[in-house]
Structure 1
Amino acid sequence: MRHKLLRLGLGIAVGLLLKAALDARRSRLSPPQPEQIRDAGPDAMDEPPETWDRVDEQGDESFPASDPPANY
C-alpha cells in the first residue's frame, strides 16, 4: 500500500513538472496576444447610456486603470 502511494505521488509530481515545462515552452513559442480594448466614449459602445456627462467620460477614458478620476 505504501509503495502504491509513493508511486502515485511521484507520478503526480512528474506530471506537474512536465506540464510546467510544456507551458513554459508554449509561452516562449507564441507570446500572448494583447486583448482588444474598445475606444473610450459612448460612440464606441454597443449599448451607450442615455445620459453621458464629464465624469462618465473621464471614468471611461481611465479604463482599465483601477483608480477613478480625481473629480469623481
Structure 2
Amino acid sequence: MITRLILGAAALGAIALFRKPRTPEPELPVRDAGPSQMRNPPPTWDRTDEAIDESFPASDPPGTY
C-alpha cells in the first residue's frame, strides 16, 4: 500500500516537472461604461440604459437593482 502511494506521488511529480507551462490568454480591451465612451453614442440615454451598460458581464446585476 505504501509502495503504491510513493509510486503515485513520484508519477505526479514527474508529470508536474515535464508539463508544458500555460501561456496566459491575452486580455481583451474593455471600455468604461457610459455613452461618452462609445464610438456611436445613442441619441437618448436614461437610467435604464446606464444600468444595462454598467452590468457587464451579464452576471453582474445593475447597481439600482
State the TM-score, normalizing by the size of structure 2. Answer: 0.56
Counterpart Cα distance in 1 of 2:60 and 2:31: 19
Unaligned ranges ≥5, structure 2: 1-18
Residues 50 and 68 (structure 1 numbering): CA distance in 2 closer, same or farther, change over 3 Å?
farther
Unaligned ranges ≥5, structure 1: 1-23
Identity of aligned residues (%): 58
The answer to whether structure 1 residue 53 and structure 2 residue 55 are counterparts is: no
**Where is the helix percentage greater, Structure 1 or Structure 2?**
1
Residues 36 and 66 (structure 1 numbering): CA distance in 2 closer, same or farther, change over 3 Å?
same
Aligned length: 45
RMSD of aligned C-alpha atoms? 2.1
The answer to whether structure 1 residue 39 and structure 2 residue 32 are counterparts is: yes
Corresponding residue for residue 56 of structure 2: 63
Residue type at the aligned position of 2:56: F
